[in-house]
Amino acid sequence: MTRGEGDNDAADSILCLAVGLIARGDPLPEPIRDIIAETLFEHTQAFDRAKKPGPDAEDLVPRNVHIARAVYEIALEFRLPFTRNERLSAPPPRQLSGRR
């Protein structure tokens, strides 16, 4: 079943109905399943199109390792704190042992 552009309100109502049926554990009628599947497919396509061009995260791993190493070396050389968060730069509190 294909929806037209003017059917947005009807589609929203059908989606609300489907949510109620799913929440109760009732099966969805076939026409509603088709509409839900089409809507989910359209949203999936929108996410695919929304992805910005650029390198994959795996391609950036060597770069990120080099940046982290450079920051580490600079922090050691100039005795800078490794974090600006004062709570994290303090030594951790001593662990309490089970003995009293």
Q: Is residue 91 part of a domain?
A: no
Domain count, the chain: 2
Mean pLDDT of 76-88: 77
Q: What's the whole-model pTM score?
A: 0.38
Those residues with Cβ within 8 angstroms of residue 40's Cβ, 6 or more apart along the chain or in another chain: none
Instruction: For residues 46 and 12, state if they share a domain.
Output: yes
Looking at the structure, tell me whether residues 12 and 43 fall in a common domain.
yes
Q: Which domain holds residue 65?
A: 58-83
Q: Which residues of 70-91 are buried (b: 16+ CB within 10 A; e: fewer)?
A: eeeeeeeeeeeeeeeeeeeeee
Please give the average per-residue pLDDT across 44-71, as a whole number.
Answer: 81
Classify residue 14: in a domain, yes or no: yes
- Span 11-57, pLDDT tens digits: 788 888 888 888 898 888 898 888 888 888 887 776 666 666 788 88
A 10 A CB-CB count for 18 gives 18
78 domain-assigned: yes
Mean of all residue pLDDT scores within the chain: 78
pLDDT at 66 over 90: yes
CA 4 to chain centre: 31
* More reliable by pLDDT, 84 or 73: 73
**Residue 69 lies inside a defined structural domain of this protein:** yes
Could you identify the residue written with the tokens 């949203």? 43
Verify that 29 and 12 share a domain, yes or no: yes
